[in-house]
Structure 1
């Protein structure tokens, strides 16, 4: 009983990771501006995406080399599976550069969470995710206003077709709230929450396993390594989640653009 009580007391000293682990100190400062790790990762990701496609496609050949083949395959995946299939064959081409950039920019930033040295998901910081979602909101609304006019676009988004005018007082505010105001919030939250939760889970398994081995006698020598095994398994699952979140974000952008261009809600 004394041994069990002692182990319990020591176990209670473990502090589970929380939101504080995302508050990183500045890497360096430019005047009064502190440049943090997520800010640097945004720049590095942009450079990686630009460099990859530039190098892959700068010397295009009829028979592609491996780098050109990889670049064309990456471009074709978003072009055909997202832009053309969702937006449609008539209007999709002009939005392909944007959708390709968004997909690979998010993907690289997400993969930073599983990359040695970085090991931090950029979009686990809410401000980063909301900034990207805000840009998407501006683009698809601007596309709709340009095609239908301001009032025409509001009517398209807020007035459901085939509904009795008697239902307008109830449905129009709901449609406005859902289609105009809530979309960028849910778009950002989906990306942010998945990256945030995955990172906390990995840190919990890693630090918890170490604590069990160092401070809990007996069962700690079994539970600690088991926690590390779970951390490795979750890491592989996180790579899948990182890809899926980039894909879903891009897919929803394409759907919102298609809805803005459509002639009927």
Structure 2
């Protein structure tokens, strides 16, 4: 969404945080639906369509589309799930890790698609939901692995003198059960918000210099447009990287939960 420029006096107005709180378009069963929700629906439909078509009629010698889908699935399986959790636990948690990776990726990438121009993960509900899923998953994995010792070993790590537990235990509780979901949420949310604001700033400045001011200011429009294109490429990298980081951190938390000392 391009920030507006005021026609009276040609005043420039940069992007605002209000863009992440768009007007309600309509309601479904009393639930308000905004432009960002529609983008989320579209991204979800794209995920379902791509993986349905890519895996519906799989062949021994895959075509280009099937190969691309398999490469994506193998990336999560080999480089995240099995690499950190091993084959057994990797296969157990592969569905949730795969879903998490591609959901974040597709929701993030909408931020650079023309006419969408905002990430579906740029409102707190999405990263918070995913962080809660990650949170519940690694706690479940730890309890499943060691029902009696998971919380004990998490809060009272071995090798620490007993008199230090009064300091160590609260720190372990905060770092393990509070900071993890909070940092997962904020890292994804802030990256998507800042990325959107930067893109809107560059391209709205281009429009302002070129259309509103004109003349020699058009030279600045060329510069801001070039920065906008460069930052768009950077945002693609960020979209992929944030999906990878979120998923691999979830896998790391699961790996820590199923470690032998638990």
Is TM more than 0.5 here?
A: yes
Write out aligned runs for 1:6-45 (5 A).
13-45=11-43
CA positional deviation for 1:119: 1.3
- Where does residue 255 of structure 2 map in the other structure? 258
Gaps of at least 5 residues in structure 1 are: 1-9
Distance in 2 separating the partners of 1:136 and 1:125: 18
Residue 163 of structure 1 corresponds to 160
Structure 2 match to 1:50: 48
Q: Aligned equivalents of 2:54 and 2:213: distance in 1?
A: 53
- Unpaired runs of 5+ residues, structure 2, are 1-7
In structure 2, relative to structure 1, the CA distance for the partners of 1:260 and 1:222 (3 Å cut) is same
Query: Offset of 1:11 from its aligned partner?
Result: 9.2
Number of residue pairs matched by the alignment? 255
Between the aligned partners of 1:81 and 1:11, the Cα distance in structure 2 is 55
* Cα deviation digits, residues 22-57 of structure 1 (max 9, x gap): 221223222532211222233332222222222222
CA distance in 1, matches of 2:150, 2:241: 31
Q: Secondary structure at the match of 1:138?
A: helix
2:187 aligns with: 190
CA distance in 2, matches of 1:186, 1:11: 43
Name the stretch that deviates more: 199-208 or 56-65.
Answer: 56-65
Contact 2:10 2:212 in 1 (8 A): no
Change (3 A) 1:209 1:153: same
- Offset of residue 216 of structure 1: 4.6
Whether the aligned pair in 2 keeps the contact of 1:11 and 1:215 (CA below 8 Å) is: no
SS in 2 for 1:210: helix
For residues 120 and 158 of structure 2, the distance between their equivalents in structure 1, rounded to whole angstroms, comes to 40
Q: Which whole-Å CA distance do the structure 1 matches of 2:58 and 2:154 have between them?
A: 42
CA distance, structure 1, for counterparts of residue 55 and residue 30 of structure 2: 40
**What is the alpha-carbon root mean square deviation over aligned residues?**
2.0
Structure 1: 4+ residue segments shifted above 4 A: 214-219
Scaled by the length of structure 2, the TM-score of the pair is 0.90
- The aligned runs of 1:112-151 (5 Å cut-off) are 112-149=110-147
- Secondary structure of the corresponding residue to residue 252 of structure 1: helix
Counterpart CA distance in 2 for 1:11 and 1:123 is 36
Displacement, 1:173? 0.3
